[in-house]
A and B are shown apart, each in its own frame.
Chain A
């Protein structure tokens, strides 16, 4: 309740005092990047990092199928890449990982060997979120202090929070839910954040949809943008996506635009960023 009141006060302050943002220079925290096995040849690591930097992406939450892709990028640009451990060795495992007995040992092994800021992006729907693999992923996130990046329906998100009420969850694509439903979820869960990847309706034509604007105003500290590079070709869309994001962010007050563009991402992963000294 107190948090909610503070959020509203913050939103009111942002809306009342700030002019719309000239957003061409906005840095971007891209919360939804994949660098999977099919991308490594056509977009080599150095090219991938160059694409991100050219687009003005200052940090990228990267998860890959398999994880070697993420590690290649981290090795090259530790200041830029925030590694997330995806429970897939190939992207084709997105529908099977919840029941695959080999997955948990894979996650545990990677967590022993490498450092991450999150587990995900993983896909889970409804009651599947109660399966042992998913419970273990939640437990591992708690044990290692990691965020869960979940591509899930609202039901599955609720179940994840039942497994760990203190979990920090980044809801991929805002669940492809309507803004009203997203707000409802954000009201219920103080440690739920949302990325806006692969959805367009909130900022079509450089204007923010009123229903989404209400969501951004109510929860200025919970949204972030993301490209979703689910095929190699989409790496060449990162720059255009960043420009597209800046276009609709420009219609918001500058402080709110900055939060969604990059500050919320930096805040969510702030501890890890601080450890890196960047």
Chain B
């Protein structure tokens, strides 16, 4: 059963089951790309222009740091024993699109994470059972992050997947109602058995965690594809002028601002265009009159109090190998009003923007940084944020660059991967 939502981009179960081989192959390719890049950068430069590329050597280095894409596939999540498991991915996909996991029977994960909208919903602030305070971020390219959520209140993807299930404004379930649904609905119970090789246990919280781990396995499989920027970046790395010339001039000028005087790449760093951390960018954070969204400050408190974090008993990694950040994260006053730096791949497809969806378009985002209100920034806070004072053409160029981070095709084709043994029930 396949829909017409687009071409599949998720790695196949076979690929996912053999991560070591894929990583090794990619690592070899990376080494070659880096060699070629260094050769290109080392080529004679005229003035501040590296080999006629239009970019200075330090700009070239920054551009190359935004690739390669796709990145080497990270290994399985050691805290999730079904990470990368094909049966878990199939189970998670079914759960993700199913409304039976909401207290009203009307809301699924896909309500706020719609494949056709690059797994966002187009609303300023998402609406589950009731309106929420925040914009739904995409769930594409979420594999292997250190923190999840606008406030980083989760340190792993399965824990993050529990939050909307239990939030009264989103899906309104409890551990007991989730577990009851899994035990009662025969297709769910069947897929649970196929994934975990046992019946759903009597422990409600354990069933909830297992559901979340299947949801995480599915979301890990959602990866974005190559973009015009990636083609340019790789052409720059190997010194291929003909391929470089195919990248639009406006996007090139915007890229120069992005890695240059805009300092955007200081926080939107690396292949995913995010440092994965939290910053105050001078936006207001009143959630409603008289009520603030404290962002990262409350997120750290929630992370520590969360029994589903990487230090808790539900992690499948006895060595807690990925829990170092959780163990050492420190709550500071500056965290009040900080929100996660989002990745920028396919950013043009995920409007509106920011934690509260308050900026409707990429133009508005660029304007925000161009005219940033310094009165909202602490002098000992985000020191790189100063008004860019971009001209209209420069703003348009920066938007053109951001648009070049789109892969142009839907990321996912709904498969509801067939499990005949379960479907006949």
Q: Do A and B bind each other?
A: yes
Binding site for B on A (CB under 8 A): 36, 38, 42, 47, 65, 90-92, 94, 123, 151, 173, 176, 198-201, 204-205, 228, 230-234, 236-237, 241, 244
Q: Are B375 and A90 within 8 A (Cβ)? A: yes
Q: A91–B334 Cα gap in the complex (Å)?
A: 19
Minimum C-beta distance from B301 to chain A (A): 10
B292 within 8 A of A: yes
Minimum C-beta distance from B334 to chain A (A): 7
Which residues of B from 319 to 352 have beta carbons under 8 Å from A?
330-334, 336-337
Q: A173–B381 Cα gap in the complex (Å)?
A: 13
Q: Are B289 and A198 within 8 A (Cβ)? A: no
Interface residue from B332, B337, B378 paired with A233 (Cβ < 8 Å):
B337
B contact residues around A244 at 8 Å (CB): 333
Given contacts A90-B375, A94-B379, A228-B378, contact A233 B331 (CB under 8 A): no
Q: Are B375 and A176 within 8 A (Cβ)? A: no
Minimum C-beta distance from B274 to chain A (A): 24
Q: Are A204 and B330 within 8 A (Cβ)? A: yes
Given contacts A42-B289, A47-B290, A233-B284, contact A200 B375 (CB under 8 A): no
Given contacts A198-B334, A200-B333, contact A233 B292 (CB under 8 A): yes
Minimum C-beta distance from A237 to chain B (A): 5
B380 within 8 A of A: yes
Q: Are B331 and A198 within 8 A (Cβ)? A: no
Q: Are B331 and A38 within 8 A (Cβ)? A: no
Name 14 interchain pairs, CB-CB below 8 A, sorted by A: A36-B375, A38-B375, A91-B374, A92-B374, A94-B379, A123-B379, A198-B380, A200-B332, A200-B334, A201-B332, A232-B284, A232-B286, A233-B285, A237-B336
Q: A4–B290 Cα gap in the complex (Å)?
A: 47
B145 within 8 A of A: no
B376 within 8 A of A: yes
B contact residues around A201 at 8 Å (CB): 332
B contact residues around A91 at 8 Å (CB): 374-375
A contact residues around B332 at 8 Å (CB): 200-201, 204
B contact residues around A92 at 8 Å (CB): 374-375
Minimum C-beta distance from A50 to chain B (A): 11
Q: A94–B378 Cα gap in the complex (Å)?
A: 11
B285, B290, B330, B336: most-surrounded residue (chain A CB, <10 A): B336
Smallest CB gap from A176: residue in B: B380
Q: Are A241 and B330 within 8 A (Cβ)? A: no
A contact residues around B331 at 8 Å (CB): 200, 204
B contact residues around A199 at 8 Å (CB): 333
Given contacts A38-B375, A198-B334, 5 further A-B contacts (CB under 8 A): A42-B286, A47-B290, A65-B375, A204-B332, A233-B285
Interface residue from B286, B297, B336, B380 paired with A173 (Cβ < 8 Å):
B380
Q: Are A231 and B337 within 8 A (Cβ)? A: yes
Q: A237–B336 Cα gap in the complex (Å)?
A: 8
Q: A211–B218 Cα gap in the complex (Å)?
A: 48
Q: A38–B284 Cα gap in the complex (Å)?
A: 11
Smallest CB gap from B376: residue in A: A231
Minimum C-beta distance from B389 to chain A (A): 14
Minimum C-beta distance from B385 to chain A (A): 14
Instruction: Please provide the 6 A-B residue pairs with the shortest distance between their CB atoms, ordered closest to farther.
Output: A91-B375, A200-B332, A233-B292, A236-B292, A237-B336, A231-B376
Which residues of B from 269 to 304 have beta carbons under 8 Å from A?
284-286, 289-292, 294, 297
A contact residues around B376 at 8 Å (CB): 38, 230-231
Q: A173–B285 Cα gap in the complex (Å)?
A: 24
Smallest CB gap from A197: residue in B: B333
B contact residues around A236 at 8 Å (CB): 290-292
Q: Are B286 and A233 within 8 A (Cβ)? A: yes
Minimum C-beta distance from A91 to chain B (A): 4
A contact residues around B285 at 8 Å (CB): 233
Q: Are A151 and B379 within 8 A (Cβ)? A: yes
Q: A199–B330 Cα gap in the complex (Å)?
A: 12
Q: A228–B330 Cα gap in the complex (Å)?
A: 20
Query: A-facing mask of B378-405, CB < 8 A → 1, else 0?
Result: 1110000000000000000000000000
Q: Are B333 and A198 within 8 A (Cβ)? A: yes
Smallest CB gap from B335: residue in A: A200
Q: A232–B289 Cα gap in the complex (Å)?
A: 11
A contact residues around B290 at 8 Å (CB): 42, 47, 236
Q: A192–B215 Cα gap in the complex (Å)?
A: 58
Minimum C-beta distance from B409 to chain A (A): 40
B contact residues around A151 at 8 Å (CB): 379
A contact residues around B374 at 8 Å (CB): 91-92
A contact residues around B292 at 8 Å (CB): 233, 236-237
B contact residues around A94 at 8 Å (CB): 379
Smallest CB gap from A125: residue in B: B379
B contact residues around A36 at 8 Å (CB): 375
B contact residues around A233 at 8 Å (CB): 284-286, 292, 336-337
Minimum C-beta distance from A239 to chain B (A): 12
Minimum C-beta distance from B292 to chain A (A): 5
Minimum C-beta distance from A88 to chain B (A): 10
Minimum C-beta distance from B289 to chain A (A): 7
Smallest CB gap from A93: residue in B: B375
Q: A236–B292 Cα gap in the complex (Å)?
A: 7
Minimum C-beta distance from A271 to chain B (A): 31
Q: A228–B280 Cα gap in the complex (Å)?
A: 15
Interface residue from A200, A205, A230 paired with B378 (Cβ < 8 Å):
A230
Minimum C-beta distance from B184 to chain A (A): 43
Minimum C-beta distance from B223 to chain A (A): 36
Q: A42–B380 Cα gap in the complex (Å)?
A: 24
A contact residues around B330 at 8 Å (CB): 200, 204-205
Smallest CB gap from A91: residue in B: B375
Which residues of B from 251 to 274 have beta carbons under 8 Å from A?
none
